[in-house]
């Protein structure tokens, strides 16, 4: 918005906002110089009459009356010229609900609000429920009052304990349905509850008979109620100088033991005007709001007064005050201040109790060796016994079922069902028989296992010795394995000497030996012819050798490494770089690869596309077989085209010649027209140029053709595909640079033109003849073509680079070849019929 | 080929100061003759301007100021109607000489553009950049995209030379790449040192390749062989564009010490005086000989001046 305004302003001033200078952006670097006019206190002396009061925003605070001006209140107080405007009366009848109560803040300005905010102290950040002791502070105070509780301990506790929260028990109780204020225990009837209430107040044992339940509570007594909370009896410590039994605020009657409390049964009359002593208290006069306070006001001796008295006593007030009950927090008894965070202890400092040293027996000598010797084991054993892994712990004690059995409980009904439960009794018995007859199983204590060395056939063992070593990664195990196998292979030379490992039980050792024997059977090498086909794999664990500590290579090491790197680099240098370094530029440093310039680029550079687009390329292969043989002639073009499926013939179905007429129609006719009507000087750069190679091939083919005894031979091959047309397009010299070429060929062209023109003219003139006499013409023409082509070839030779194409001939060839027995040529012929007709019309014109 | 080749020895270099062009406020990075009779000079410098000078009088005709960064390269169209410049602002600016405004700003490069070059009829402008690509821009159509991007180089392109059918690029990766449009072939010759300038002879058969190892090499384009090697000067860290002398009978190059060196093209001998006098205070960034062989030469230097040298009258 502001920029818009600025722009408008600049526009008014005649500055061009769209110019680059005006649109330049700047950024400020550094601190700006202070403004010239002194807005802040610069430390200079200013006489009082020149000083002015400003607020934090630099606005003048005092105006008008204070400084002699008229604008009091206008500039920065009320903000309007008219000053305060009284709020106009608006009927709030319709929106009474909406009526907003005005708060003092509504009339405060920002400074006042700030002040208010500053004064507001954050009262309670821990608004947590604390049902037992009230707030933490209250609890603390009460505890501080307790003589039993050490004040330092309480302070420490208070500072270290987290904020009060529900205890775990309370939480559990709450989950069980207990609520704050209720007692704990089974639900009670109304009567019982009333009893409890009474007991709580009177604190004497009452029987249920003493309670009468009112009739209207009949309904209520049908329900059960939570019991009343158990009152915690709290004995207040006497810490004042009142007499026994006196409570502050007691009325005189009460203090005398007279039942004066009854006076309070009368209604409280509000203290006000117009009530005489004799006036009856009417309902309006009852003081509804003033309860306890008014009552307290009337007592003779008030606790507040007493406290005031205490404070106002004359003399060494502080000392006297302290002696009263307990020292005020923050002061020692002698009046010195206590360090912040500490509380003076109420208790006298306990004297340290000293015990006499035990008598040292005579002849005792300190011998730490004894303890050291037994030291470590002792501790370890202890630890082992205390910390059990979970698995052991689970199995160590009796299981739940066992415990249940011990206690004589009935086993749980959902005992695990085994397969046997689903078997018939007969089967079960049979199984039992089998089991008992077989291996000795069952929970019977296993007798100490004896060593059983599994037997391995010596030849297997010796083979296994030579074969794959399965435990190469564990050398210890491998050695045990080999020793076992050796003992099995040749028991006489190597008696069985393996012993169980110290931590191994005998059955584990047996298991290990069995594993070994199995491994030996598995890993024995394949025998016979198969053996030669395999080589045993070996696991070699050669990790990198690790040097401990920081790697600090020495200077020589680094130098050696660098040297090596350099050498390696030199070795890695490719022959190309090497040749370049030696200055042997040439084939060694040259790299050639094909590169496809963009078509547009070729056009802009006036160069023909080196690799013409694929559609033209596709045409070349169809043409490639010159096929001057009779067989090809006999089965003309169709197979060759049907072989190649490209974009040009996709979608034609089986009929290859379908639509060929349209394809062939367009292109040659253009060329023909050009050959006939266009002047030869005219260049058309944007015509796509055929490929030179193709031309060469083509001329080759056409030249080769006459050698063939059958004169019509090349015809089908040329007519074969519509794509051929593109390659037969005339070539134009594309660049100015080749001007002389053009010049050179000009007269040639002229000569040729005459020749070309003639046949073309003839061709059109002979159209009538074609209709009448088809066959003789091509033969005649062919001969003409022959020598023309020969000439073309000769011309090719003299300027091989840029070939002036004898395109029209080709076109003619195609055009005027009479229909063959081929479908496609027929089609072509057919296609020309309309053209011919049209041309004839032109001719007539 | 060369008119003076037949005469005895090569013509001495024009070493008489004709005029000093000192309008630039910083180093002059490039100085190019106009086409045609080449009576005008365009210089581009670190001060973000391109300046047009009258070579004969030494007066500044125009300053073209639109670049936001330094100007590193200028190329003039065949008809002198427009020129293109490039530099640190990653776009090629095509200018209209008469009006002095940019007609096109071709953006697409990712780095500063070290070189721009028109083709023969200024229908295509090629730009080689620090981003190691050469972009070929079409100036006929209104397309914003490059016609083609040549991405073969592995390092910054420092120089481009375009003749009628070949685009030759020189790159810091030490290769001179010739893109032959007619053959559809890329011939890359490995020189081994960062190539800073490539200048082709008139017949487009040989290239003068300046590299950062204080060598100028005359390379045969068709075979990639080195025909001659010119040394003696100092050029190890800056682009000091060398050129052919009058009638392509000699090779001229300024060096980093402010001296202009000349060699005989055929026997690669240093021409007198040897060592040459120091004519510039700082490195000579660009040496260009008058295209029509009038024995006139310009040198642009980092000392902020551009000097035109002629034979004494």
Residue with tokens 């003493």: A210
Q: How many angstroms separate the CA atoms of A256 and A419, rounded?
A: 90
pLDDT tier for residue A259 given thresholds of 50, 70 and 90: low
Q: Give chain B positions within 8 Å (CB) of A596.
A: 184
The residue of chain B nearest to residue A21, with distances taken between CA atoms, is B66
Instruction: Measure CB to CB from residue A604 to each of B124, B180, B191 and give the nearest one.
Output: B124
- The arithmetic mean of pLDDT across residues A379-403, rounded, is 66
- Residue A204's pLDDT is 55
Q: Give chain B positions within 8 Å (CB) of A592.
A: 185-188
Residue B11 lies in a domain: no
* Secondary structure of residue A265 in the 3-state scheme: helix
Q: How many angstroms separate the CA atoms of A270 and A297, rounded?
A: 13
- The arithmetic mean of pLDDT across residues A111-123, rounded, is 76
Q: How many angstroms separate the CA atoms of A536 and A523, rounded?
A: 10
pLDDT tier for residue A826 given thresholds of 50, 70 and 90: very low
Which of the listed ranges A366-370, A490-494, B51-55, B141-145 does the model predict with the highest average pLDDT?
B51-55
Q: A649 Cβ partners below 8 Å, 6+ apart?
A: A641, A656
Q: A317 Cβ partners below 8 Å, 6+ apart?
A: A311
- Residue A31's pLDDT is 81
pLDDT in tens, B121-152: 888 899 999 999 999 998 888 888 888 898 88
Find, among A498, A488, A544, A566, the residue nearest to A520 by Cα: A488
Q: A810 Cβ partners below 8 Å, 6+ apart?
A: A698, A702, A718, A728
Asked if A634 and A763 touch (Cβ cutoff 8 Å), the reply is no
Total tally of structural domains belonging to chain B: 1
pLDDT tier for residue A322 given thresholds of 50, 70 and 90: very low
Which residues form the domain of B282? 16-310
* Secondary structure of residue A842 in the 3-state scheme: helix
Cα R_g (chain A), whole angstroms: 61
pLDDT tier for residue A64 given thresholds of 50, 70 and 90: low
Residue A373: count other Cβ atoms within 10 Å of its Cβ: 10
- The arithmetic mean of pLDDT across residues A127-144, rounded, is 49
Distances (CA, A) of A523 to A464, A519, A554, A715: 6, 6, 49, 78
A527 pLDDT higher than 90 = no
Q: Is A140 exposed, middle or buried (0-12, 13-18, 19+ CB in 10 A)?
A: middle
Mean pLDDT of chain B: 87
Q: How many angstroms separate the CA atoms of B20 and B25, rounded?
A: 14
Q: Does A387 touch chain B (CB under 8 A)?
A: no
Which helix (H) or strand (E) segment holds residue A785: the answer is helix A776-798
- The arithmetic mean of pLDDT across residues A73-100, rounded, is 66
Task: For A141, list phi and psi in degrees, rounded to 5.
Answer: -60, -40
Q: Does A21 touch chain B (CB under 8 A)?
A: no
CB within 8 Å: B184 and A598: no
Q: Does A169 touch chain B (CB under 8 A)?
A: no
B2 pLDDT higher than 50 = no
CB within 8 Å: A596 and B184: yes
For the sheet with B60-64, list strands across it. B28-33, B40-45, B50-54, B60-64
CB within 8 Å: A737 and B192: no
A781 pLDDT higher than 50 = no
Query: Which chain B residues touch A if contact means CB-CB below 8 Å?
Result: 119, 123-124, 136, 138, 140, 147-148, 164-165, 174, 179-192, 217, 219, 223-226, 229
CB within 8 Å: A590 and B188: yes
- Residue B160's pLDDT is 92
Find, among A597, A596, A594, A575, the residue nearest to B190 by Cα: A575
Q: Give chain A positions within 8 Å (CB) of B189.
A: 585, 589-591
Instruction: Measure CB to CB from residue A595 to each of B123, B124, B184 and give the nearest one.
Output: B184
Q: Give chain B positions within 8 Å (CB) of A737.
A: 164
- The arithmetic mean of pLDDT across residues A356-377, rounded, is 78
CB within 8 Å: B189 and A585: yes
CB within 8 Å: B224 and A587: yes
- The arithmetic mean of pLDDT across residues A253-278, rounded, is 51
Which of the listed ranges A612-621, A647-656, B297-306 does the model predict with the highest average pLDDT?
B297-306
Give the relative orientation of helices A776-798 and A807-816 as an angle to the nearest 10 degrees: 160
β-pairing, B284-289 vs B297-301, is antiparallel
β-pairing, B157-162 vs B146-150, is unpaired
Sign of CA dihedral A423, A424, A427, A428: positive
Residue B164 lies in a domain: yes
- The arithmetic mean of pLDDT across residues B219-227, rounded, is 87
Instruction: Measure CB to CB from residue B185 to each of A592, A605, A607 and give the nearest one.
Output: A592
- Residue A244's pLDDT is 79
Q: Give chain A positions within 8 Å (CB) of B123.
A: 604
β-pairing, B166-171 vs A188-189, is unpaired
* Secondary structure of residue B82 in the 3-state scheme: strand
Q: Is A117 exposed, middle or buried (0-12, 13-18, 19+ CB in 10 A)?
A: exposed
Cis preceding-peptide flag for B275 (omega within 30 of 0): yes
Instruction: Measure CB to CB from residue B186 to each of A595, A600, A607 and give the nearest one.
Output: A595
- Residue A737 C-alpha, separation from nearest chain B C-alpha, in angstroms: 9
Task: For A377, list phi and psi in degrees, rounded to 5.
Answer: -60, -40
CB within 8 Å: B185 and A595: yes
Quote the ipTM score: 0.86
The residue of chain B nearest to residue A599, with distances taken between CA atoms, is B147
Q: Is A544 exposed, middle or buried (0-12, 13-18, 19+ CB in 10 A)?
A: exposed
Residue B20 lies in a domain: yes
pLDDT tier for residue A49 given thresholds of 50, 70 and 90: confident
pLDDT in tens, A170-201: 888 888 888 877 778 888 888 888 887 777 66
CB within 8 Å: A592 and B119: no
- Residue B6's pLDDT is 39
If you write DSSP's letter for every residue of B238-255 in order, what string do you get? S--BEEE-GGGSEEEEE-
What the block records as the tokens of A655 is 């009929």
Task: For A540, list phi and psi in degrees, rounded to 5.
Answer: -115, 115
Percent of chain A exceeding pLDDT 90 equals: 0
A127 pLDDT higher than 70 = no
CATH of the domain at B292: 2.130.10.10
**A161/A513: higher pLDDT:** A513
Q: A770 Cβ partners below 8 Å, 6+ apart?
A: A777, A816, A818
Q: Give chain B positions within 8 Å (CB) of A591.
A: 187-190
What the block records as the tokens of A421 is 């439960």
Percent of chain A exceeding pLDDT 70 equals: 42
Q: Does A525 touch chain B (CB under 8 A)?
A: no
HEC readout, A575-639: HHHHHHHHCCCCCCCEEEEECCCCHHHHHHHCCCCCCCCHHHHHHHHHHCCCCCCHHHHHCCCHH
B311 pLDDT higher than 60 = yes
Q: Does A573 touch chain B (CB under 8 A)?
A: no
The residue of chain A nearest to residue B151, with distances taken between CA atoms, is A595
If you write DSSP's letter for every residue of A130-172 in order, what string do you get? -TTTSSHHHHHHHHHH-SSS-HHHHHHHHHHSPSP---HHHHH
- The arithmetic mean of pLDDT across residues A645-659, rounded, is 54
pLDDT in tens, A547-597: 777 777 788 888 888 988 888 877 777 777 878 777 788 788 888 888 888
Q: Give chain A positions within 8 Å (CB) of B165.
A: 605, 607
Which helix (H) or strand (E) segment holds residue A309: the answer is helix A303-312
- Residue A607 C-alpha, separation from nearest chain B C-alpha, in angstroms: 6
Find, among B211, B229, B212, B233, the residue nearest to B220 by Cα: B229
- The arithmetic mean of pLDDT across residues A734-747, rounded, is 49
CB within 8 Å: A600 and B138: yes
Q: How many angstroms separate the CA atoms of A431 and A671, rounded?
A: 104
- The arithmetic mean of pLDDT across residues A718-729, rounded, is 48
- Residue A76's pLDDT is 54
B116 pLDDT higher than 90 = yes
Instruction: Measure CB to CB from residue B164 to each of A598, A601, A737 and give the nearest one.
Output: A737
Residue B96 CA to its chain's centroid (Å) = 21
- The arithmetic mean of pLDDT across residues A274-295, rounded, is 49
The residue of chain B nearest to residue A612, with distances taken between CA atoms, is B184
Find, among A297, A325, A298, A300, the residue nearest to A310 by Cα: A325
**A501/B217: higher pLDDT:** B217
- The arithmetic mean of pLDDT across residues A362-387, rounded, is 67
Residue A523: count other Cβ atoms within 10 Å of its Cβ: 16
- Residue A314's pLDDT is 42
pLDDT tier for residue A358 given thresholds of 50, 70 and 90: confident
Mean pLDDT of chain A: 63
Q: How many angstroms separate the CA atoms of A681 and A368, rounded?
A: 126
Q: How many angstroms separate the CA atoms of A343 and A329, rounded?
A: 6
A96 pLDDT higher than 50 = yes
Percent of chain B exceeding pLDDT 70 equals: 96
Q: How many angstroms separate the CA atoms of A494 and A484, rounded?
A: 9
Instruction: For chains A and B, count residue pairs whose Cβ atoms are closer than 8 Å.
Output: 95
pLDDT tier for residue B58 given thresholds of 50, 70 and 90: confident
pLDDT tier for residue A37 given thresholds of 50, 70 and 90: low
pLDDT tier for residue A420 given thresholds of 50, 70 and 90: low
Instruction: Measure CB to CB from residue B147 to each of A577, A592, A600 and give the nearest one.
Output: A600
- The arithmetic mean of pLDDT across residues A125-139, rounded, is 48
Find, among B216, B297, B283, the residue nearest to B12 by Cα: B297
B251 pLDDT higher than 50 = yes
Q: Give chain A positions within 8 Å (CB) of B179.
A: 595, 597
Point out the least confidently predicted range of A216-230, A456-470, A518-532, A711-725. Answer: A711-725
Q: What is the DSSP letter of A266?
A: S
- Residue A649's pLDDT is 53
A450 pLDDT higher than 80 = no
- Residue A776's pLDDT is 42
Distances (CA, A) of A165 to A133, A175, A181, A441, A774: 11, 15, 16, 59, 119
Distances (CA, A) of A449 to A435, A445, A506, B70: 21, 11, 6, 95
The residue of chain A nearest to residue B187, with distances taken between CA atoms, is A592
A364 pLDDT higher than 70 = yes
- The arithmetic mean of pLDDT across residues B272-280, rounded, is 84
Residue B47 CA to its chain's centroid (Å) = 19
Neighbouring-strand partners of residue B137: B125, B146
Instruction: Measure CB to CB from residue B124 to each of A591, A592, A605 and give the nearest one.
Output: A605
Q: How many angstroms separate the CA atoms of B305 and B21, rounded?
A: 6
Instruction: Measure CB to CB from residue B188 to each of A583, A591, A596 and give the nearest one.
Output: A591
pLDDT tier for residue A299 given thresholds of 50, 70 and 90: very low
pLDDT tier for residue A793 given thresholds of 50, 70 and 90: very low
Q: B281 Cβ partners below 8 Å, 6+ apart?
A: B258, B301, B303
Q: Give chain B positions within 8 Å (CB) of A692.
A: none
Q: How many angstroms separate the CA atoms of B216 and A498, rounded?
A: 84
Q: Does A586 touch chain B (CB under 8 A)?
A: yes
CB within 8 Å: A595 and B123: no
Q: What is the DSSP letter of A813?
A: H
Q: B271 Cβ partners below 8 Å, 6+ apart?
A: B10, B12, B13, B250, B262, B263, B264
Distances (CA, A) of A9 to A15, A16, A18, A134: 9, 11, 14, 70
pLDDT in tens, B164-193: 888 999 999 888 999 988 888 898 888 888
Find, among B302, B310, B270, the residue nearest to B285 by Cα: B302
The residues in A 426-455 lying below 8 A from B, measured between CB atoms, are none
- Residue B88 C-alpha, separation from nearest chain A C-alpha, in angstroms: 19
- Residue B84's pLDDT is 92
Q: How many angstroms separate the CA atoms of A671 and A723, rounded?
A: 14
């Amino acid at each position: 918005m502001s920029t818009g305004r600025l722009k408008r302003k600049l526009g008014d001033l005649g500055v061009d906002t769209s110019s680059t200078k005006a649109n330049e952006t700047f950024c400020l670097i550094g601190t700006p110089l202070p403004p010239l006019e002194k807005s802040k206190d610069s430390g200079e002396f200013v006489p009082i009459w020149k000083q002015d009061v400003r607020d934090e925003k630099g606005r003048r605070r005092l105006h008008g009356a204070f400084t002699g001006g008229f604008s009091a209140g206008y500039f920065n107080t009320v903000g309007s010229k008219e000053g305060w405007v009284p709020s106009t009366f608006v009927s709030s009848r319709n929106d009474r609900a909406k009526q907003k109560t005005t708060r003092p803040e509504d009339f405060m300005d920002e400074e006042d609000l700030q002040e208010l905010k500053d004064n507001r102290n954050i009262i309670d950040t821990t608004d947590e429920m604390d049902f037992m002791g009230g707030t933490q502070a209250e609890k603390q105070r009460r505890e501080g009052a307790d003589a039993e509780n050490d004040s330092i301990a309480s302070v420490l506790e208070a500072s270290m304990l987290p904020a009060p929260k529900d205890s775990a028990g309370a939480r559990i109780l709450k989950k069980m349905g207990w609520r704050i204020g209720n007692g704990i225990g089974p639900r009670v009837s109304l009567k019982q509850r009333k009893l409890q209430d009474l007991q709580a107040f009177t604190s004497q044992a009452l029987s249920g008979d003493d309670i009468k339940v009112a009739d209207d509570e009949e309904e209520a007594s049908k329900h059960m109620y939570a019991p009343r909370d158990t009152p915690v009896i709290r004995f207040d410590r006497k810490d004042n100088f009142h007499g026994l039994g006196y409570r502050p605020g007691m009325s005189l009657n009460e203090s005398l033991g007279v039942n004066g409390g009854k006076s309070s049964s009368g209604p409280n009359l509000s203290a006000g005007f117009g009530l005489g002593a004799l006036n009856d208290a009417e309902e309006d006069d009852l003081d509804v709001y003033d309860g306890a306070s008014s009552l307290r006001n009337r007592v003779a001796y008030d606790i507040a007064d007493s406290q005031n008295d205490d404070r106002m006593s004359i003399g060494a007030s502080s000392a006297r005050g302290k002696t009263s009950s307990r020292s005020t927090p923050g002061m020692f008894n002698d009046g010195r201040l206590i360090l912040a965070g500490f509380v003076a202890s109420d208790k006298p400092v306990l004297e340290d109790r000293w015990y006499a040293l035990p008598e040292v027996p005579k002849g005792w000598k300190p011998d730490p060796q004894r303890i050291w010797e037994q030291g470590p084991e002792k501790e370890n054993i202890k630890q082992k016994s205390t910390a059990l892994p979970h698995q052991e712990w689970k199995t160590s004690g009796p299981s739940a079922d066992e415990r249940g059995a011990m206690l004589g409980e009935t086993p749980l009904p959902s005992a695990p069902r085994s397969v046997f439960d689903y078997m018939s009794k007969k089967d079960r018995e049979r199984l039992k028989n089998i089991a008992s007859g077989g291996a000795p199983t069952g929970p019977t204590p296993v007798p100490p296992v004896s060593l059983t060395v599994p037997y391995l056939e010596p030849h297997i063992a010796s083979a296994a010795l030579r074969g794959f070593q399965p435990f190469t990664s564990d050398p210890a195990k491998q050695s045990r394995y080999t020793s076992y196998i050796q003992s099995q292979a040749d028991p006489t030379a190597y008696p069985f000497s393996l012993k169980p490992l110290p931590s191994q039980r005998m059955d584990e050792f047996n298991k290990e030996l069995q594993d070994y024997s199995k491994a030996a059977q598995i890993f024995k090498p394949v025998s016979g012819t198969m053996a030669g086909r395999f080589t045993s794999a070996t696991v070699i664990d050669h990790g990198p050798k690790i040097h401990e500590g920081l790697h600090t290579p020495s200077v020589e090491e680094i130098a050696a490494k660098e040297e090596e790197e350099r050498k390696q680099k030199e070795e890695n240098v490719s022959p190309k770089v090497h040749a370049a370094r030696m200055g042997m530029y040439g084939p060694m440093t040259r790299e050639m690869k094909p590169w496809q310039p963009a078509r547009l680029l070729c056009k802009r550079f006036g160069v023909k596309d080196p690799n013409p687009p694929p559609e033209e390329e596709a045409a070349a292969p169809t043409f490639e077989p010159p096929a001057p043989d009779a067989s090809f002639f006999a089965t003309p073009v169709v197979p060759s085209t049907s072989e190649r499926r490209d974009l040009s013939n996709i979608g034609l179905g089986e009929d290859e010649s379908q639509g060929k007429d349209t394809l062939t129609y367009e292109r040659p006719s253009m060329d023909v027209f050009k050959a006939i009507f266009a002047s030869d000087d005219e260049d058309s750069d944007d015509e796509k140029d055929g490929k030179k190679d193709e031309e060469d091939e083509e001329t080759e083919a056409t030249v080769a053709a006459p050698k063939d005894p059958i004169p019509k031979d090349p015809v089908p091959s040329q007519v074969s595909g519509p794509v051929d047309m593109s390659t037969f397009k005339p070539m134009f010299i594309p660049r100015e640079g080749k001007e002389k070429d053009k010049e050179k060929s000009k007269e040639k062209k002229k000569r040729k033109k005459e020749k070309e023109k003639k046949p073309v003219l003839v061709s059109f003139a002979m159209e009538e003849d074609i209709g009448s006499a088809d066959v003789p013409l091509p033969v005649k023409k062919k001969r003409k073509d022959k020598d023309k082509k020969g000439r073309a070839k000769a011309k090719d030779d003299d300027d091989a680079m840029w070939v002036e194409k004898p395109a029209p001939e080709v076109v003619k060839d195609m055009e005027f070849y009479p229909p063959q027995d081929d479908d496609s040529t027929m089609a072509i012929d057919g296609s020309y019929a309309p053209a011919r007709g049209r041309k004839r019309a032109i001719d007539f014109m | 080929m060369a008119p003076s080749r037949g005469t005895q020895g090569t013509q001495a270099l024009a070493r008489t100061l004709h005029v000093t062009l000192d309008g630039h406020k910083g180093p002059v990075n490039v100085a190019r003759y106009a086409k045609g009779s080449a009576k005008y000079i365009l210089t581009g410098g670190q001060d973000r301007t391109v300046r047009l000078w009258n070579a004969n009088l030494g007066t500044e005709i125009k300053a073209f100021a639109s670049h936001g960064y330094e100007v590193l390269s200028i190329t003039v169209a065949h008809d002198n109607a427009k020129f293109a410049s490039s530099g640190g602002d990653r776009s090629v600016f095509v200018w209209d000489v008469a009006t002095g405004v940019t007609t096109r700003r071709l953006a697409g490069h990712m780095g500063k553009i070290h070189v721009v070059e028109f083709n023969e009829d200024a229908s295509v402008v090629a730009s080689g950049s620090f981003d190691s690509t050469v972009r070929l821009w079409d100036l006929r159509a209104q397309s914003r995209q490059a016609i083609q991007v040549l991405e073969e180089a592995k390092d910054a392109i420092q120089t481009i030379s375009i003749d009628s059918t070949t685009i030759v690029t020189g790159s810091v990766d030490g290769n001179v790449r010739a893109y032959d449009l007619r053959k559809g072939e890329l011939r890359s010759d490995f020189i081994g040192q960062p190539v800073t300038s490539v200048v082709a002879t008139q017949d487009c058969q040989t290239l003068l390749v300046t590299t950062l190892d204080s060598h100028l090499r005359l390379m045969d384009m068709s075979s990639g062989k080195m025909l001659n090697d010119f040394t003696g000067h100092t050029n190890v860290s800056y682009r000091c564009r060398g050129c052919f002398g009058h009638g392509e009978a000699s090779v001229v190059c300024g060096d980093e010490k402010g001296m202009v060196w000349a060699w005989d093209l055929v026997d690669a001998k240093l021409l007198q005086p040897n060592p040459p006098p120091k004519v510039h205070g700082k490195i000579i960034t660009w040496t260009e000989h008058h295209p029509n062989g009038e024995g006139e030469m310009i040198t642009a230097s980092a000392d902020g001046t551009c000097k035109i040298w002629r034979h004494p009258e």
